[in-house]
Structure 1
Amino acid sequence: METLPDFDVMAKLAQDDPEKFEQLRQQLIEETINQANSGMQPRLKAQQSHIDLIISRGKNPLHTTMLLRDELQRQLARFAQTLQQPSAQENAVITPISSHPKQLDNADKSSL
């Protein structure tokens, strides 16, 4: 796996050459997923696809960060609930992100 450049180098690359930054980001993600257990790779790819979808909805870097933070908080809450009540998750319904009420609410708020 390629060594990750330090933050300042990555920030400059993102600002000066966004296409090259995105290419490096995708390469590092792919290498990381490929190093994972083969049984986990499909889940990791699905999670990364979900993250990329959220990123694509961001209007600017701050908005993107807030969308990702909100998603992380939702996932942490689900994880905590699963730990506290494991049987409740067995019949859980998965809501697609495009129709998730909080995602739609956040999109409406961000346009203000």
Structure 2
Amino acid sequence: MTELPDFDKLRWLAENEPDELEELQKTLCKEAIDCCPETNKEQLISMQYHLEQQLSRCSNPYHRCYLAISIMNDKFIALNTIMNHPQEFRQQNAKILVLPSKKLSTN
């Protein structure tokens, strides 16, 4: 498993080699996901993809940090709700809407 460099090295990478830092981040995330049970991998991959998409819109490192914290906080709140009130979570049902189909006119 790839070893995480110390803070000073990470800071230097952020200032001088941001592409290398991003590659390190992707490598560490992939290794962490690979160590997880198969049942959770798809969710983690999906979550990582969502996070990467959101972070790609950020204009600076502070925005990226704030957004990452916000997304993770939302996930922890959802997990806390599920763990503390599982009966409410299980009772949630999606409402399925039937959309009218478009009929193709044949002239």
Separation of aligned partners in 1, 2:32 and 2:80: 26
Where does residue 108 of structure 1 map in the other structure? none
Change (3 A) 1:58 1:92: farther
Q: Percent identity?
A: 26
Aligned length: 93
Where does residue 65 of structure 2 map in the other structure? 65
Separation of aligned partners in 2, 1:17 and 1:92: 47
Query: 1:52 is aligned with what amino acid?
Result: E
Where does residue 28 of structure 1 map in the other structure? 28
More helix by share: 1
Name the Cα RMSD after superposition.
1.7
Task: Tell me how far 1:13 sits from its aligned partner.
Answer: 0.9
Task: Tell me how far 1:84 sits from its aligned partner.
Answer: 2.5
Task: Tell me how far 1:12 sits from its aligned partner.
Answer: 0.5
Q: Mind listing any 5+ residue stretches in structure 1 that lack a counterpart? A: 94-112
Change (3 A) 1:58 1:73: same
SS in 2 for 1:39: helix
Separation of aligned partners in 2, 1:39 and 1:81: 21
* Greater Cα shift, 9-18 or 80-89: 80-89
Q: Mind listing any 5+ residue stretches in structure 2 that lack a counterpart? A: 95-107
Larger radius of gyration, structure 1 or 2?
2
Separation of aligned partners in 2, 1:24 and 1:92: 40
Task: Tell me how far 1:20 sits from its aligned partner.
Answer: 1.2
Is 2:45 the counterpart of 1:55? no
Where does residue 96 of structure 1 map in the other structure? none
Q: Name the TM-score, length of structure 1 as normaliser.
A: 0.72
Change (3 A) 1:92 1:54: farther
Separation of aligned partners in 1, 2:10 and 2:87: 43
